[in-house]
Amino acid sequence: MNKSAAPIFSTRLTVTIKLPLDKNVRILNPEQVILKIGSNTYDFGAFCYALRSRKKRNIHKPGEVVLGSFLRQRPRQILQLIRALSHLITDGGKRMATVNAYAQSLKAFLDWADTNEKSDCLSGGDATRDTYLAWAKDTGERYRRQEFGAVWHNHRLQYIEELLEASTGGENLHRGVRKVKYSRSSNGGTDPLAPLDFAHAIALNQALFDGLCDLVLKQMTFPYKLMLPATLGWSENHLWVFPSQTWRMVPYQWDAERGKRTKNCWAYDYAAGRLATTDEIEHRYAGRFRSERRKVAKRLIAQAQARIDSANANARDRVRIMLGMYAHNAFLFLFYCNTGANESVVREIETDGEIDTTTLNQKFRSIKFRAGSKPITLTVPAAFMPSLRRFMELRRFLLGDKPFPYLFFTLGFLNAKPAGQIGSNSLYSLYKSLLRVIDPKLPRMGSRKLRASVADWYQRHHDASVTAKVLQNSEQTTQKRYDAGSATDHREELSLFMNSVSESAKKLRVLPITAVVDTRPLEEGGRCDNFGHPDAMANHVPVKPNCKDSQGCLFCTHRVLIACEEDARKVASAAFVMEQVILGPKHEEALRPLIAKCDQDLEKIAAFGNCRAMTDRVLKDVFENGNLTPFFADKYQLFLELGVIA
């Protein structure tokens, strides 16, 4: 029995077309089109062939297809899809990153459809609807297998539905299809960084920007001493920079870690900022005789010296350009921190590269595509203007005085391409290739994380209206997305509360019952010896005394405890009722410090004279038998009737 011949894949003639389409562009042969969306390319013409190679294609190159599997109906259908993607940008106001997600979903859909013998998926009518329903079913099964999350599940359904309806004229393809309900996060937004991490990251990026700018713009010589912030905790807060692909090594990489690296660069002494000597490194190389090892060491040291001399003589040396781009990305990080801008907004900022010397607060205009192409104006703080002016100087150097419309840019692979618009992963590239190497403990910091951290800072120092103005959204959005604070802050604030409880307990006075004169009894236990003149016992008290809220009396200097059974039962009853109404984290955060204060008060009473046995008896009677004071018994009954307590 003869085996069927393997398909023969081959390339074909192609043309690259950029989205959005120009008004005068006419696509005569859709089967030849490679579509360029931002910096990414997609071989849409290959979808006109039923058999396509799974081999990964090279960037800007066509994928391999079986020419004999050409689908005659597909060119017209692919043309409609290309136009639909273009309309997402021109009419829908979608940003390039979003349209890329549409294109990726479309590729996955068409690959799946043609593999499952559904090549009529773009024909319209029942064929398109049946294919879409099958796609939705497959997507749901893969979601249940946890191949991807809820967000991508819903995007796969939404993106394909929109593109199919736009290209085939179909309607309501989503009928009968269920999306997954999900919450963005527990607080509805992105959690901010811990304040110390945020401050450390800003200091680190500022040091990188300032130091590398000096190296590049002042033509400083290699080896170059790059100063870094003391928050790193190193014995010496600097790195030595060499004109090599391995241009720096941090302290933890100097010893055993260095021996594991593929490129050791032993000729460079990264700790001392000089070239190594032959005696220091000869043992690093293989050779039967010492003379052979020394010969290799001398040759590599000589090459390293020649490399340093070449880089110092060339103002536009490749490593100098590379380090300049690191400075560019460090400034991009700082720009997010100082403006609180959205990533999509920053990518679209245009500039002529000039700033007037009299300008105190530079303003940039951009577009927020997600808000219906809303115009956005970003204002650079006055304190950040010196860094912005320095960046403009760096920008001119890196561009070689060639015009480029956008404020931020990339020079592509190995910094050897013409300037292009930055992608959506610029900050992650900086974090992965440099920040995390310098400080492995530094948490990942994307643009959303930085925006949330900026919002958190403004929320703590100003009100929601100021924060909303800085972030250029509504107060409702500000409170919904950025009011949560960081987990570290919550722990610190709870710690402050508990400390204040302890501090208040130390200051609390306990008097014998015979000393009670001219005082006002309190339902929470104790008496007030100066009603109408509240005074907090400590800073950061959970409830500020005000002579109106009885809970505030717990932290007032004018409250005195009486060493008697009545006060002990009042305090224990208050603690009992508050313990019962804790139903979740919010109640825990609000009531736990108050319960802790009651515990401290009871301990104070127990420690007074011979009151220990009495206090223990009352505590047991309240918590085990439920014998509360009349005031708290009524409250407890009310909570039961209202269903607050089960």
Q: In 10 A of CB 316, how many CB atoms?
A: 11
In this predicted model, which residue has the larger pLDDT, 481 or 564? 564
Q: For residues 396 and 416, which has the higher predicted lDDT (pLDDT)? A: 396
DSSP assignment of 104-127 equals: HHHHHHHHHHHHTT-TTTTS-HHH
410, β-bridge pairs: 420
354 within 8 A of 380, measured Cβ to Cβ: no
Q: Which amino acid is at 425?
A: N
> Which residue ranges form the domains of the chain, and what is each CATH number?
15-168 (no CATH), 220-313 (no CATH), 318-482 (1.10.443.10), 488-642 (no CATH)
Of the candidate ranges 90-99, 310-319, 333-342, 374-383, the one whose mean pLDDT is the lowest: 374-383
Model pLDDT, residue 502: 44
At 189 the pLDDT is: 59
Q: Which alpha helices (DSSP H) does 28-149 contain, by range?
A: 74-90, 96-115, 125-144
Residue 473, pLDDT > 60, answer no
Mean pLDDT of all residues in 148-156:
86
Span 21-43, pLDDT tens digits: 888 888 889 999 999 988 788 99
Ranking 304-318, 405-419, 556-570 by mean pLDDT, the lowest is 556-570
- In this prediction, residue 186 has a pLDDT band, given cuts at 50, 70 and 90, of very low
Q: Encoding tokens for residue 640?
A: 């039961």
Work out the percent of the chain whose per-residue pLDDT is above 90. 26
Is the four-CA dihedral 150, 153, 159, 162 of positive or negative sign?
Answer: negative
Q: Does 450 score more than 60 pLDDT?
A: yes
Which residues does residue 561 pair with via DSSP β-bridges, in sequence order? 510
So what's the pLDDT on residue 216? 95
Residue 150 is predicted with a pLDDT of 83
Tokens of 427: 């900050």
Highest mean pLDDT among 312-326, 442-456, 522-536: 312-326
Residue 636 CA: distances (Å) to CA of 194, 195, 340, 575, 578: 39, 41, 47, 12, 9
Rounded to 10 degrees, the C-alpha dihedral 47/49/53/58 comes to: -50
- Does residue 125 contact residue 131 with C-beta atoms inside 8 Å? no
pLDDT tens-digit readout, 262-285: 667 889 999 999 999 999 888 888
Q: Is residue 16 scored above 60 in pLDDT?
A: yes
pLDDT band at 254 (very low <50, low <70, confident <90, very high): confident
Does the reported pTM lie above 0.85? no
Question: Which pLDDT belongs to residue 498?
Answer: 41
Single-letter amino acid, residue 374: K
Give the Cα separation of 516 and 547 in Å (integer). Answer: 20
State residue 328 phi and psi, 5-degree precision: -60, -45
35: β partners: 17, 42
Q: Give every CB contact of residue 159 below 8 A, 6+ residues apart in sequence.
A: 101, 102, 105, 106
pLDDT of 187 reads: 44
Whether the CB-CB separation of 349 and 366 falls below 8 Å is answered with yes
pLDDT at 637: 76
Quick one: DSSP state of residue 401? T
pLDDT at residue 302 greater than cutoff 60: yes
Give the pLDDT score at 611: 85
Q: Are 415 and 397 in contact (CB under 8 A)?
A: no
pLDDT given for residue 628 in this prediction: 86
Predicted confidence (pLDDT) at residue 564 exceeds the cutoff of 90: no
Contact 229, 200 (CB under 8 A): yes
- 408 versus 529: which is more confidently predicted? 408
More confident residue, 615 or 561: 615
DSSP class per residue in 436-495: HHH-TTPPP--HHHHHHHHHHHHHHHS-HHHHHHHHTS-HHHHHHHH-S--HHHHHHHHH
| pLDDT for the residue 89 | 86
The tokens describing 233, both together, are 């905790």
Residue 245: what residue type? Q
Residues 458/467, Cβ–Cβ less than 8 Å: yes
Helix (H) or strand (E) holding 337: helix 318-339
